[in-house]
Amino acid sequence: MDRRNFIKAGGVGLAATTIAAPAIAQTTPTLSWRLVASWPKSLDTLFGGADYFAKLVAEMTDNKFQIRTFAGGELVPPLQVLDAVQNGTVELGHTAPYYYVGKDPTFTFDCTAPFGANYRIQNSWLRNGGGRALMDEFYAGYNVVSIPCGNTGTQSGGWWKKEIKTVSDLKGVKFRIGGWGGAVLSKLGVVPQMLAGGDIYPALEKGTIDGAEWVGPYDDEKLGFQKVCKYYYHPGWWEGQAQLSAYINLGKWHSLSKTYQTVIKAAAAEANNWMIGKYDADNPAALKRLIAGGTQLRYWSRPIMEACFKASRQLYAEESARNPKFKKVYSEWTPFLATEDEWMRVDEQQFDNFMYAKVGARA
């Protein structure tokens, strides 16, 4: 190429660059955001999910959109992630929305609700059952956008120092529980305690609480509950699934191009599937280790399940009567879930129940 052609070619290239530059600057700017999580770094599925999400965003944007992740307590206390994002202290959070039911129980629908949805139904409700629009409207009041970014599946029913054989055994038990499940249990005499993940074991050890639930075998084992509690109950009816959310400051969200918004949405979906896949693979091995170490597996008796279910319906009705925001979501959420339950019985449940009974007969 002679110099003249080089200049000419360069000139065309430069002209194009000059014209395109403003559009590029708007859609894919260099950004450095901070994410505060509610989790200690030791929980490599929960905190790992936030980290994976951040890594995906960087990879998809050629490292232009960087997100630094901080564990609970590093920048803000683990249970104040919402506040930090709402105030714009940080751009992003990764948390369990039900940590904020003290502000308004409506948060529960974006996370997990007692005797509520399972993993599939939660996904469908948000995407196709009107859930997204309802929660967006609710979250606008908190200056936040919430995007599902991880899930645990059905959680376990927690660790108890004493066996719970009857409903009356629940009375007076100081039990660490996240979210709105505690409000249901309090109707049956439990004294619910809210503590962040890292604070539970010391409280169990000191005896300031009598039991605790966190997630399931893999995480619970890491937190060490098996060292102080003998009985491990199932299922965690207060968390038929538990959705973790990426919280994004509303102003910051609207400052993003459609390009970056879609990057965040897709990264969150991939992180979601990554997390549930990891839990589903890691939980069974952990449960086997726990049982080998002396943990006693227990299932809630039918009368306890029924009493808790009844208490949950009372709580939903009471909150609907006093909280119009809650009522608005609940009145659309309930019929959607009932329709899903009915449908899931036709194929999913038939298949699952047949297969689950075939353990050992597969090969």
Q: Which residues of 154-187 are buried (b: 16+ CB within 10 A; e: fewer)?
A: bbbbbbbeeebeebebbeebbbbbbbbbbbbbbb
Nearer to a copy of itself, 82 or 185 (CB): 185
Q: How many helices (H) and strands (E) does the chain have?
A: 13, 11
Q: Considering CB under 8 A, how many residues would be counted as binding a copy of itself?
A: 89
Report how far residue 114's alpha carbon sits from residue 101's, in angstroms, rounded to the nearest whole number.
Answer: 13
Strands (E), 90-240: 92-95, 144-151, 159-160, 174-176, 191-193, 211-212, 231-234
Q: Residue 108 in contact with residue 320, Cβ under 8 Å?
A: no
Nearer to a copy of itself, 142 or 218 (CB): 218
Site residues (CB under 8 A) for a copy of itself, limited to 75-94: none
Q: What's the closest the beta carbon of residue 325 comes to a copy of itself, in angstroms?
A: 18
129 makes contact with a copy of itself (CB under 8 A) = yes
State the greatest distance between any 2 C-alpha atoms of the chain, in Å, as a whole number: 92
Rule CB under 8 A: choose which of 165, 265, 296, 303 binds a copy of itself: 265
31 makes contact with a copy of itself (CB under 8 A) = no
Q: What's the closest the beta carbon of residue 244 comes to a copy of itself, in angstroms?
A: 15
Rule CB under 8 A: choose which of 174, 278, 325, 328 binds a copy of itself: 278
Q: What's the closest the beta carbon of residue 208 comes to a copy of itself, in angstroms?
A: 27
280 makes contact with a copy of itself (CB under 8 A) = yes
Q: What's the closest the beta carbon of residue 6 comes to a copy of itself, in angstroms?
A: 12
301 makes contact with a copy of itself (CB under 8 A) = no
For residue 138, count other CB atoms closer than 10 A to its CB.
20
Rule CB under 8 A: choose which of 71, 96, 121, 164 binds a copy of itself: 121
Site residues (CB under 8 A) for a copy of itself, limited to 47-76: 56, 59-62
CA–CA distances in Å: residue 319 to residues 139, 260, 330: 18, 38, 10
13 makes contact with a copy of itself (CB under 8 A) = yes
